[in-house]
Amino acid sequence: MLLDLENKKKIKIKDGELYYDRFFFSNIEANKYFNLLKKEIQWRQDNIKIFGKIYPQPRLTALYANNNKSYSYSNIKMQPITFTPTLFDIKSKIEKRLNSQFTSCLLNLYRNGQDSNGWHADNEKELGLNPVIASLSLGAERIFHMKHRNYKKEKLKINLTNGSLLVMRGKTQHHWLHQIPKTRKKVEERINLTFRIIK
């Protein structure tokens, strides 16, 4: 089911907490931040191992933080770079809205519809118990899929639009998986910022 979300609202899901703010940034603000981040972020493309074979990760990534805590996922270990002024500005606005403090930001650059992120949960030990993940979308719209680990009928899709903020908290990462799948549609670039607390 594709949810049609026109405004900020709490999305009811089983065994988790999910919030979506369609208009966290206006299109003008979002486009400004997209252009700044596209230029100033030190993007990289790591290799991932799938069923014993090594492939280039199907997107570009970067890790920024206000500490030196590394982050590991899918056999990739990332060392953070100090927040840029642009990232710090965005982080401060999200923190003010959510009344939360984040240490780190994992960024993804989806260059076209063939760039993707497979099924996973943000449940790495560095994130601690019941992590808060604040996910900001800039640029092209992409469909965000979620499915419950144990209840096959519990699943949803959200169209993540330019300037929107999706927040996952509570037990969401214990019980749910999420992905950004490939699409055959012609889509432009998208930058996704996922703010988190790395212990």
Q: What is the DSSP letter of 112?
A: S
Q: What is the pLDDT of residue 81?
A: 98
The span from the CA of 34 to the CA of 63, in Å, is 16
Q: What is the DSSP letter of 119?
A: E
Q: What is the pLDDT of residue 51?
A: 75
List the chain residues with pLDDT less than 50.
1-2
Q: What is the pLDDT of residue 55?
A: 85
Q: What is the pLDDT of residue 6?
A: 52
Residue from 57, 50, 52, 100 nearest 78 by CA: 57
Contact between 102 and 195 (Cβ < 8 Å): yes
- In DSSP terms, 139 is beta-bridged to 190
Q: Spell out the domains of the chain, with CATH numbers in brackets.
A: 7-196 (2.60.120.590)
Residue from 119, 142, 162, 129 nearest 28 by CA: 162
The span from the CA of 156 to the CA of 178, in Å, is 10
pLDDT digits (tens, 9 = 90+) for 5-61: 555 588 999 999 999 999 999 999 999 999 999 999 999 999 887 777 888 999 999
> Beta-carbon neighbour count of residue 136 at 10 Å?
26
Q: What is the pLDDT of residue 2?
A: 46
Strand ranges inside the chain, DSSP E: 2-3, 9-11, 17-21, 47-50, 53-56, 60-65, 71-73, 76-78, 81-82, 104-110, 117-120, 133-139, 142-148, 155-160, 165-169, 176-180, 190-196
Q: Which residue's entry shows tokens 């012609």? A: 186
